[in-house]
Amino acid sequence: MGAPDIIFELRNAGYSIRADGGYLDISPAVDSQPNLLQQLKQCKPEILAALQLEQQQEARRENVLRILEADSTLKRAVYADSKSDVNNIILIIAIRNLGTCEMAVPKANLDPWQLLVLIDKAGTDYIH
């Protein structure tokens, strides 16, 4: 069982789990479940990495949603994160009343002008 499965299993069982630096913050405590404790110990680095990635994604999502909240005339907002990933620029796109998405674009292949053209062409009807 990998980190995503363990995280899902814990949350599905009613536990809260998050990364707190190099520690796993799990509530309520799982002391009474030795098998689960063993899995957590074995997969701790992988679980921490998955939870930290989850937290980064949520922070980026909140950033792009703040852009939409700040200007009620905007239909779409784009937030670019060039610091989280050495090889990729993470683009987060929010479309008012529809949702958000995130994609990794290799830094070597990014053409910002072409990206602007695509964003301009993509209206809310374009998203499936």
pLDDT in tens, 67-122: 999 999 988 888 888 888 899 989 898 999 999 999 898 988 888 788 777 767 76
pLDDT in tens, 35-60: 888 888 899 999 999 999 999 999 99
Q: d(Cα 122, Cα 114) in Å, to the nearest integer?
A: 12
pLDDT confidence band for 27 (50 / 70 / 90)? very high
Cα torsion 7, 8, 11, 12 to 10°: value is -150
Sequence ranges of the domains in the chain: 3-126
Q: d(Cα 49, Cα 68) in Å, to the nearest integer?
A: 29
Confidence (pLDDT) at 126 = 36
17 near 24, Cβ under 8 Å? yes
Token couple for 20: 């707190």
Q: d(Cα 127, Cα 95) in Å, to the nearest integer?
A: 9
